[in-house]
């Protein structure tokens, strides 16, 4: 149980284009989803927290207009990187939790490379 999927697993895009990453909870309803970014040899950096049906809460320093997060249903959240730049290249990971558990269950991550 508690499986979270992400799609795509890796993507290469050109500067200036937008990329959408999907995060799905496959066997539970995720009242809250989180988006993280991991830099090489660094910890997970929380970008934003989203609750189903409401606007995401962004961490300080994360541009909400650049990283658009939508949590339209209890099983799906999307992260859209708009007008991507090479410095946006990173490993993006989502996680999800249902309302009754403290644990977050992570997706496998998406490797984004912007050329």
Q: Report the interface residues with another protein, using CB under 8 A.
A: 2, 4, 6, 32, 34, 41-44, 46, 49, 91, 93-95, 97, 102-109, 111
Strands 67-73 and 76-81, sheet pairing: antiparallel
The distance of closest approach from Cβ of residue 57 to another protein in the complex, given in angstroms and rounded to an integer, is 9
Q: What is the DSSP string of 29-58?
A: --SEEEEEEE-TTS-EEEEEEEETTSPPEE
Q: Of 1, 58, 37, which is closest to residue 109 (Cα–Cα)? A: 37
Nearer to another protein, 23 or 84 (CB): 23
In the complex, the smallest distance separating the C-beta of residue 83 from another protein, rounded to whole angstroms, is 26
Alpha-carbon span 63 to 107, nearest angstrom: 22
- Nearer to another protein among residue 68 and residue 91 (C-beta): 91
The CB-of-20 to another protein minimum distance in angstroms stands at: 18
Q: Which is nearer to another protein, 16 or 39 (CB)?
A: 39
């Amino acid at each position: 149980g508690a499986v979270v999927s992400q799609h795509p697993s890796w993507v290469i895009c050109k500067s200036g284009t937008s990329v959408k990453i999907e995060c799905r909870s496959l066997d539970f309803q995720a009242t809250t989803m989180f988006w993280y970014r991991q830099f090489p040899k660094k910890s997970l950096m929380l970008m934003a927290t989203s609750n189903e049906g409401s606007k995401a809460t962004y961490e300080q320093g994360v541009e909400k207009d650049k990283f658009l997060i939508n949590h339209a249903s209890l099983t799906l959240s999307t992260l859209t990187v708009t007008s991507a730049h090479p410095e946006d290249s990173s490993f993006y990971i989502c996680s999800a939790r249902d309302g009754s558990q403290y644990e977050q269950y992570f997706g496998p991550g998406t490797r984004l490379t912007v050329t």
